[in-house]
Every structure is written in C-alpha cells, then in structure tokens.
Structure 1
Amino acid sequence: MRRIFASALLALLPGLAQAQGGTLRAVLNLELQVLDPIITTSNVTRAYGYLVYDTLISMDAEGRYRPQMLEGWEASEDQLTWTFRLRPGLEWHDGKPVTAEDCVASLERWGRRDGLGSRLMAAAKGFRVVDAATFVLELREPFSQVIEAIGKPAAQIPFMMPARLAATEISRPVPESTGSGPYTFDRGEWRQGDRAIFRRNPRYKPREDAADGLAGGKVAHFERVDFVSLPDFSTRVAALQAGEVDYLEFVPTDFIARLQRDRNVRLINPRPIAQMMGAMAINHLHPPFNNRQVRRALQLAMDQGEIIAGLGLPAAMSMPWCQSIFMCGGPYASEAGTERLREPSIETAREALRASGYNNEPVVLLHSTDSVTLNPMALVIIDRLKRAGFNLDVLASDYSSQAQRRLSREPPGRGGWSLMPLVFTGYDILNPLAHYAVAYNCGQNYPGWPCAPALTPLLEQFGKEPDAAKRQAIAAEMQRIVHDEALMLFNGQFSVPAAHREDVRDVLPVGFPVFWNMRRAAR
C-alpha cells in the first residue's frame, strides 16, 4: 500500500523523487514567502536566513555566546568601548570581501527594527570603523547585553549583509539575497507553492571548530537544499517514509507514534532551551481587549493542560504546566505572578467576563490552519472562548495571510484582528530584552501594541545591571507585570519533534532547522 501511495504522490509532484545525490529535500512547517529576515519574525524566513547569511556571534548548545564571523572581541575596563575583529577570508556570495563597514551598516539597520537591537543602539554613542576588519562600538552608558544582542539567535536576527543592501529602508525588504552564509539562494528558480532551492556556497569559509548548536563550523555537505512545499500533513509523512523527502521540520502529532516505529526514520526532540511555548497575541488597541479586565477574563479561560493535550503529544514531549514567560528551564525562569493562573476554568472566566464590562464586541481570532502546532491548539482555544461567552469570529486561513493581517491597526471589524495564537521557540523569549511581551512595550514595532508603563523602567534597569542575580529579580518582576496586565497569554511549553531519514546523519538538535553539518551516510 505504501508503494502504491508513493507512486501516486510522485505523479502529483513531478521530479520530487529524482536521484538525490547531493540534494537534501526538506519540508518546513510553513512556506517561504518573505526573503528579508530583518523585517519579519517568520520561522521559515529564519531558516532561509541561516542558510544565506551569517552572524558575527552565535549561541552554542549550552547557551554560551561564541565568535562566528568574528575572530574575537574585547571590552574596555569600564565596559563602554567594545572592539570587534572579523576573521580573515570572509566573502559575500558575489566574491567581494566582507568588511567592517558592511557589518556596521547591517547592525544599524537591524537596530532600527529589533527590540533588543534598539535598546543597544539607545545606549550607544555609535559605531566606528577602524579598518577593513575592525570596528568599535562606543556606549554612552553601561549596557549588560552587548554580546547577547549581537549574538541574538532568533526573531529579528542580526544577520550580516553588504552595506549596499543594509542601506535599504527598514520598511522595505532587501532587493536581493546576497549574504556570506554556507548556501546561496537560487531566486530565479524559486516557485512559491512548489520549492525554494539553495546551492552550496563554494566561497564559504567555515570555522575550524566543530559545529555546536548555532556556533562552530558550518560545513555544507549537501550540494543543494530544497524547501519542498507539501501543504497536506499526511502527504508530508508519506513522502518522508517513502524516501521522497529527507527532513520534516515538525512531525504532525497524529503521526509521531507511526514514525517512532519506522526504522528508516529518526525523530529529534530538543532540550528545554530549544523547546516551544504556545502563546496568544492580543490586540490592545481596540475593544474588547483594550480593557484590562477583559484580558484577565481571557486568561482564566485558557487551560494549558487541555490546550497542550490537543496537540496529541507523548507525555515526555510537554510540561504539565509552565507559566514562566521566559521558558521553564531557561536562565530567567520564575513563578512570579502565576498564582491566579493555576486553576483556570470556564465558569470562573465567564464570571470574570460578565464583571469586566464586556459589551459582546466581536472577537476576531486568526486561525492558522496550515500549521502543525497552531491549528490543533487553536481548535481547543476556540472552543473554550465560545464556552466562556466571547462573541467569537474565527477567520481560518494560512499562516502567511494571517501574519499579514496581524500587521493591521484597523478595528477588528474593518480588516483588523483581536487574537492570534502563536508559537515561540525558547530562543525567541529567553532574554527579557528580546521577549515579545516586554521588549516592545509601548512601542510601534510589534503587532498587538501592548503598553504597561511599569515595565519601561525595569527594562532600562535590566539593560544596565551588571549583576546576574539582580537581573534575575528584575526579570521576575517583569513577568509579574505581564501576567497581572495580561499583556500576552502563555499556553504551555512543549516540543514537536523534527524527523529525518535514517541515512541523514549529524543533524543538529537546535530546535529549528539548520542544514549545515548534515550529511548522507555512504550506501
């Protein structure tokens, strides 16, 4: 039966099962659409970014920051002057050398968009180019997160690009895909709905140390990496089992047990720092969620146990309960402000909603039906919100369309939105100055536009505080405010495994797809 299905699949997807040779075929959770990793937080664009671009500093598997494009760095005794040196021999895809000027321009563009980057820039006098390989960051005041900012591993990642591209206005995507990473993007062969093709970069000069998390030598063993579009979940699994694709970013939860029994497939379950957190973005601009009491009623309707159960994961792949906004198991994990969230119930939520002044305003929920993780979680959330008494208007569509609508500041009934279930990786939310619920507080760059004035001085204190224990206490107070104001909801920590063919070796368990270091076993 499997062979018959595979044959039918090949008829539908011409060329999918060509002789694989040096090609790795990967199916990501969502389809690639945006080609600028600085203007979007999309996970698939992040995967694209790590293939095409490179970073000055990278995080290893233990959460340590290590030089990547840099040879190294040093700080003055007062920590106000930081000197960075590029390692020799780095080139852009077009053969031109990577220079300090390029790196400064890249950091400045990133710093105009990213929450942590903007805080770094606010503390800085500016950058100064010393020579082609050296640049200096001068601070006007202490900032404890310089290396953490430049080595930021998720969301808007400070990828390096040529200065001519970094000059692009931050509201517009860069016009081409020229980086210095281990792969080049074949833009001419990119066919949305079919595949995106990456080719090994012969100019790339990997570090000599072994690959470790996102750090170390990014050796490209495959001549080509294809992102293959297969929207149907069962088709993805069948293609993996038949050997027509090599890698799935997420295994649909209904198929985990089946793939665990397949000796030709291997599952990857990441450690806590790289696991995922379900969340709910809330639009604070318009009724009903401009009302704090309505947001707090919404909190009480969310039952982590039921929402995570909707994913159908084995017990070992989820936590029974986690309301640490910085990830349970992360460096800033805390239980601050979680007391009232421990016993959610529909009845309590309904009573709180009646007392809140809610006037039956429509609640527009953006339901991403094409996501392995978001779709089943949203189905549980939708049911619970209806039972709690919210006047729910569910808009079901693909994630990319929903992400675009989420940028709208219009009222929910005129093209806007109220709620959108999301999933973050641990890398997205480990650092308070990069965390979506706090880092963009009272700003304009993150959809939802929450504003809790009490967070602003805490963010400033955290950025200046050199003592790790004191930073921990500040982060706990931030968490208490996020929960008390219901700025964003957190629906449970879990991991959905990736899967790959047994003959693909040395896959890095980073928690999201990176394709260096992988190789195909000799046959």
Structure 2
Amino acid sequence: MGIRTGLRNAMAAALLAAAPLTAPAVAQERPLRLVLNVGLQTLDPIAGPSFVTRNFSYMVFDTLIAMDSKGEYRPQMLEGWKVSEDGLTYTFTLRDGLEFSDGAPVTAEDCVASLKRWGLRDSLGRRLMAATKELRSTDAKTFTLELSRPFGLVIEALGKPSVQVPFIMPARLAANTPPTTPVAEVVGSGPFLFLRDQWIPGERTVFARNPRYRPRSEPADGLAGGKVARVERVEFVNMGDPGLRAAAVQRGEVDYLEYAPIDYIRTMQRDRNLVLARARGYAEIVGGISINHHQPPFDNVLVRRAVQQIMDRREIIAAEGVPENLSQPDCLSLYACGTFYAGPAGTEPVRETGIARARELLQQAGYKGERVVFLQPADSALINPIGLVMLDRLKQAGMNLDVQTSDWSSHAQRWIQRQPLDQGGWSLLPVIYTGFDLANPLSNPGIGYNCTNNQPWGYCDAAMTPVIERFEAEGDPAKRREIAGELQRLSIQGANFPLAGQFASPAVWRAELKGVIDFGFPILWNIERGGR
C-alpha cells in the first residue's frame, strides 16, 4: 500500500468514526453511509461528466422526466406533456408545489434556462437544441419546445438517465453560468439538501432530508415515482482500498457500496447480512479508452486503430477478476449488450485483435515514437486494472508512454482540458461507462459527440453526420435500430472510442436496508432501516 493510499484510508476510517456534525434532532438517527467508486470533486452535473457527480446530483436536483425500471419514460417534475399532430411542438406542464431548496418556486423559466445550458454541453442535448426552433416559457408552469425539423427522441432526451442528465436548477444560475463552469451554488429541488459546510472534497459529502421536497404520489420505480427520503442524513464516503470497503460493509460501518470489490464478490454472496444487486444490461459496466483526437499522434486514424487492436477483452476482464457469470467478453457492440440497439453490425475490425496488428498499423501510420501521455487513475478499483493491461499491451505494440498516475478526480479535471502535452495535456485515459450511457447512439461517447467540438474526444467524421441526422429524424424504433448499426460501423472504423469488455460489478448493501431500488446506480430515496 502506498503512502497516498494509506493516508486516504486513514482519513476514511476517521470519517466513519466521527460523530455527525448536525443538529441534535438529526444526530439521533444513524446516517445512511454510501461508499462511491471515487471521491467527489465537482458539484455541477453539467460541468462535470462523471458518475460521482451524477450520483451527487440525483440527491439534490430533480428531472422533468424519469426512466422507470422497465426503461420507460414517465413524468417526474412534470404533470405531463402534449404533442401537436405534426409532432413538432411539445407543451410541458409542471406539477404543483415544486420548490427549490432556497424556498423559491420552480418555474417554467427555470426549466427553459436549465435545458438550454444542458443543451450546450450534452451530446443528446446539443442535437435536440440543434433541431429546436424555439424553447420558451408560456406561463409560470408551462413551457413549449417547438422543433424546426422532426426529432424522434425528445422525451428520451429530457429523460436521459445518466451523464449528462438534464437536471433543473434556478434560472439565475443556469442562465448566467457557462456549461463548462461549475455553478456557484448548489440549489436544487431534489429529495435531499447538500450540507456544503461539512463537505470534504474527495473524502466525504453530507446530505440532509429536504423538508421542502414534495414527492410524487406513485410508488418509487427506478428513477421515477415518489422520491421519499426516509432517512434524515446521508453520507458519501470515499475509501480507495477495496479491502477496506469490503470490511466496512461487512462490519456494518457503511451501509452501501456503489460497486462490490470484485475480489470479494464470492464471499459477499455467502454473507446473509449482505445483498448484491441483480440489475444487468443497462446496469453493466463497459471499459474503454478515451482518446484525445486533438493531440498528435491520435489525430491519425491508423494510430487510433492500433490502440483499438490492443484491446483484448478477455485479458482485461480477467485482470478485473470478474467471475465468469458476471462477464460478457464476447460482447463487441458499442451499445451495451442487453440494450435495445446492441448488435454485430460493423464489428469485423474488432472480432480478432492483436499486438502484431497494432505494430503494423503504427508502422503504416509513420509513428516515430512520439510521446503518449497516459493518465492512470490508480484510486479506481475498476479502472486501474483496465489501465494496467492497456499499458502493458501499448508498450508491447511500441508506443512511447509517459504514464502519469494519480487519483480519478485529478485526472478528470485534466480530461476536459485541451492543453498541449507539455502544458498538462493528455493522450489516453482508461474509463468506464454503464449501459445507460452507451445504449443510445446520441449519448454514446463514440458516436454522439461527432463534430460537436464539445467533449474530450474531439472526433469529427463527416460521413457520420448525415447518418446521425437520419437517426434523429426517424420515429420508427425498428428503422432507428438499423441506422444505429450503420453508426456503429462508422465509429469502429474511425476508432473513436475503443471498448474493453462488458461485465457486472454489482452494488452491495446491508440486508437490514428496506426499499432499496436495484436500478444500476445508487438511488438513496425510498430506503429505510429494518425495524423502523
């Protein structure tokens, strides 16, 4: 164990032992403690494209539309919506009684400003806004989205479940903050309040029940339904060491792990005090490598294809130590297997991968040993093994690697920058996504950001643009699936975002917790302790 890891674990242990720093009425109840995969640094779900920020945001913000456990989209902050006969005008109405945590009512103006800001940043949001003639509020509770051309995924866009989610915040913040700059305040209308004065960035995040929140009357179902906060206090705690995480949940020092440490899954399955999540498909994890297309040598497609060739899915999944019944090493689709658009179209270049082929491609590209800055997030129990395998295989292929190891939060800050390599820039970063993020072409990191100049990848394939436009306009799901296959072929051909294999790394929680929603990422409303 390194010095940094030891200090981090010591801090985590101290945080677990610390008495809650809240008013006596709140302190009477034991807080619900969740261990996330990495520490929280960014509090803005639009500025920060990471799971940890998404998890934070579902606590304090709310969405207009939400996905339920069946993958269907239901009104959340909305009372409902109407669509014109020509399909070009959507009218949305907010439900009564919505308030922000500062006491201000939620208005249609807030929704319009929030959606416009999100639409400058998110891949699906940008495409929706590009097809929008006007987005305006018509009264305090009603706003209208008028399309300039057919766009078949309006509801799917507004109900997007994972990064970046169109959360609603006050117009005074959304309208005056660029999408890449974090908002100055955390003011949401979600079921919990963020206690900023108790936040230790990267280590501990504290929440209290939001007394202003009015949940829907329906039962909680996935991200939809009544978000009833049944505990007074929640804490996100960071523990870098998997063994420490496992011991903490087994001893009851924490209640919930975002991901069960893979080496401990078999032991946890035999522990009657623990429950492992069963959600699959959308909930499964897919490893990948984010390539900086802005920086040489990866502005050359042959060099990117060489990286694609080193992605041996079986070796990477083996390095994770995932049990066979929790992995899908034969899944080649860019859309997570088990989701609607998944299929084999265009996967021929990645059906057989190898280091020898990678060397050939580098030679064809004229690669002369240019420096490649590889960011390795050592504190992520899931990403670190993926990165180690990639590093070994990239070296075997002949790449000149400058490996820079740090925590995920630090790398995430560099990831969204476009500095030259000698000024803190980067070339490659191993990452993980879930099926939620990869399921739709317009949100898929290897397709949805094409020519948007908006996210770290920076790819732009002119041949992909008209195909995306066809996909956007198509209202028939079966025809969209066919177009999605064509987009997959183009993305793999351009080596936009090489994947590293699909597997389950299930959440785990204490058996005494009741009402846990097994959805694919932590949902902390509806939970209560047994015996209450």
Cα distance in 1 for partners of 2:322, 2:19 equals 33
Give the aligned residue type for 1:518. I
SS at structure 2 position matched to 1:82: strand
1:90 to 69, 94, 98: 98
Give the aligned residue type for 1:81. T
- Counterpart for residue 451 of structure 1: 460
1:29 to 34, 37, 58: 37
Cα distance in 1 for partners of 2:303, 2:101 equals 51
- Tell me, yes or no, if the aligned pair for 1:269 and 1:496 is still in contact at 8 Å: no
- Tell me, yes or no, if the aligned pair for 1:251 and 1:372 is still in contact at 8 Å: no
For 1:372-387, list aligned pairs within 5 A.
372-387=381-396
- Counterpart for residue 433 of structure 1: 442
- Counterpart for residue 362 of structure 2: 353
**How many angstroms does 1:247 deviate by?**
0.8
Q: Which moved more, 1:225-234 or 1:137-146?
A: 225-234
Deviations along 1:12-62, one digit per CA (max 9) or x if unpaired, are 843389988352011111111111111111111101110000000001111
Distance 1:113 1:11, change over 3 A: closer
For 1:45-84, list aligned pairs within 5 A.
45-84=53-92
- Counterpart for residue 280 of structure 2: 271
For 1:295-374, list aligned pairs within 5 A.
295-374=304-383
Give the aligned residue type for 2:429. M
- Counterpart for residue 119 of structure 2: 111
Cα distance in 1 for partners of 2:51, 2:28 equals 26
Cα distance in 1 for partners of 2:226, 2:450 equals 37
Cα distance in 1 for partners of 2:27, 2:325 equals 37
Give the aligned residue type for 1:43. F
1:166 to 157, 163, 174: 174
Cα distance in 2 for partners of 1:248, 1:16 equals 20
Q: Which moved more, 1:340-349 or 1:237-246?
A: 340-349
Which residues of structure 2 form unaligned runs of 5+?
1-8
Give the aligned residue type for 2:122. D
Kindly indicate whether residue 3 of structure 2 is the aligned counterpart of residue 15 of structure 1: no
Deviations along 1:467-514, one digit per CA (max 9) or x if unpaired, are 222211111111001111111101111111111111112211111111
Deviations along 1:109-161, one digit per CA (max 9) or x if unpaired, are 11111111111111111123222111111111111111011111111111011
Kindly indicate whether residue 157 of structure 2 is the aligned counterpart of residue 153 of structure 1: no
- Counterpart for residue 5 of structure 2: none
Give the aligned residue type for 2:33. R
Cα distance in 2 for partners of 1:439, 1:401 equals 25
- Counterpart for residue 6 of structure 2: none
SS at structure 2 position matched to 1:131: coil
RMSD of equivalent CA atoms = 2.0
- Tell me, yes or no, if the aligned pair for 2:40 and 2:409 is still in contact at 8 Å: no
- Counterpart for residue 513 of structure 1: 522
Q: Which moved more, 1:386-395 or 1:197-206?
A: 386-395
TM-score norm. by structure 1 comes to: 0.95
Kindly indicate whether residue 178 of structure 2 is the aligned counterpart of residue 178 of structure 1: no
Cα distance in 1 for partners of 2:504, 2:226 equals 26
SS at structure 1 position matched to 2:328: coil
Cα distance in 2 for partners of 1:351, 1:130 equals 60
Cα distance in 2 for partners of 1:421, 1:303 equals 14
Q: Which moved more, 1:123-132 or 1:453-462?
A: 123-132
**How many angstroms does 1:11 deviate by?**
9.6
- Tell me, yes or no, if the aligned pair for 1:362 and 1:393 is still in contact at 8 Å: yes
- Counterpart for residue 428 of structure 2: 419
- Tell me, yes or no, if the aligned pair for 2:286 and 2:499 is still in contact at 8 Å: yes
Cα distance in 2 for partners of 1:456, 1:176 equals 37
For 1:490-501, list aligned pairs within 5 A.
490-501=499-510
- Counterpart for residue 464 of structure 1: 473
Cα distance in 2 for partners of 1:194, 1:344 equals 39
Q: Percent of counterpart pairs with the same letter? A: 54
- Tell me, yes or no, if the aligned pair for 2:240 and 2:381 is still in contact at 8 Å: no
Deviations along 1:269-317, one digit per CA (max 9) or x if unpaired, are 3220221111111111222211111111221111001101111011111
Kindly indicate whether residue 230 of structure 2 is the aligned counterpart of residue 230 of structure 1: no
> Number of matched residues?
518
**How many angstroms does 1:223 deviate by?**
0.6
2:143 to 130, 135, 138: 135
Moved over 6 A (4+): 16-20
**How many angstroms does 1:409 deviate by?**
2.0
**How many angstroms does 1:108 deviate by?**
1.2
- Counterpart for residue 253 of structure 2: 244
- Tell me, yes or no, if the aligned pair for 1:206 and 1:217 is still in contact at 8 Å: yes
Distance 1:125 1:225, change over 3 A: same
- Counterpart for residue 410 of structure 2: 401
Which residues of structure 1 form unaligned runs of 5+?
none
Deviations along 1:302-342, one digit per CA (max 9) or x if unpaired, are 10011011110111111131121111111111211111211
Cα distance in 1 for partners of 2:206, 2:370 equals 46
TM-score norm. by structure 2 comes to: 0.94
- Counterpart for residue 44 of structure 1: 52
- Counterpart for residue 3 of structure 2: none
